[in-house]
Structure 1
Amino acid sequence: MGIRHHPTAQLISDYVTANISPGVALAVAMHLESCTICALAASTASRPAGPERVGRADPPSESALSTVAMGPWIGLRKGVLGAVTSAVSGLGEAVYLLKAEPGADIGTASVRHAFLILVLKGRVKVDGRTVSAGDLLELATPPEVLLADAPGASLLVVAEDLPLRLRRREG
């Protein structure tokens, strides 16, 4: 199954002009690494020249994920682990990673305030539709059902503030 969910043209434009928060930039950069359609759209979009670019760093690439500082992996529910990043969170957003075993119910509390989800590996079912590695979902409302499909899934989640209070689950 190929990539079927892409960032909007506006989001790609914001990425190219560096008019984007660090967590969203990370998610878009990682999507561009695996999606030639969006990478082409980003390469043909115009970058501003002059003072608008002063003091702005280029958005991170996929290799940046390996250097992102993360808290420890914590069990959120059966078959689901979460870790909050600290290097790219900010500007009123939280960025965290979720790993889920096949068939695990990720739970909507894990993505309650999410506005962007990038599937890094595997597949998930979001409100009945299957999304797979590379798919970037811009969410207007939180999903009602989020289940890991075989072979499991890894997600990068960008959310408002810090909705995911990572605590070890009881019992």
Structure 2
Amino acid sequence: MPEPIWEEIYEKLPTRPEQRQERFDMFDSFDPNGNGILSLAEVDKAIRDVLAIDELFDAKPAIMRAFQAAKACGKGRPDVGDDYIEKLEFKRFLVGLRQYFEYWVAFKRIDEDDDRRISFEEFSAAEETMKKWMSNLGDLEEEFDKIDENDGGMVLFSEFCKWAIGKSLDLEDDDN
């Protein structure tokens, strides 16, 4: 996977408090029918057409996780179903998109065979790399077993995200 352009991602995701109007304007550009809510399909299309960052658009699991997290924030409008995000949830979506994209990049670096699952062999081969991303990796077998919540023998992206959040995984200091 080509290295993401982090500066471009930071620049195109208006998440700072002073960027509220820019964020609202972006929401409007994501909302083609002007109904004040966004479906996952609308968000996906807008990431391709509005943000125009291919690496981000190709990270479907990260988009899905960010969308799920944003819509779980609670609704302001009682007429909006659980399958949509509202304007006030949009900031949470953008923050989540940035964070889950970082986890996706980390996950892809470990997933050597690109099957969207991490085996113990891949996990242990990435030990030195993972030590750059977190302060306390711990025993590899114990960590792997903790991450593999469904005991399937492989780590899925959703499991990896939970673990990465708990470990405060951070790629920013990684030179890769």
Question: TM range, normalised to the smaller chain?
Answer: under 0.3
The structure with more helix, counted as a fraction of residues? 2
TM normalised by structure 2 equals 0.26
TM normalised by structure 1 equals 0.27
Which structure has more relative contact order (CA 8 Å, sep 6+)? It is: 1
Q: Answer with 1 or 2: which has the greater Rg.
A: 2
The structure with more strand, counted as a fraction of residues? 1
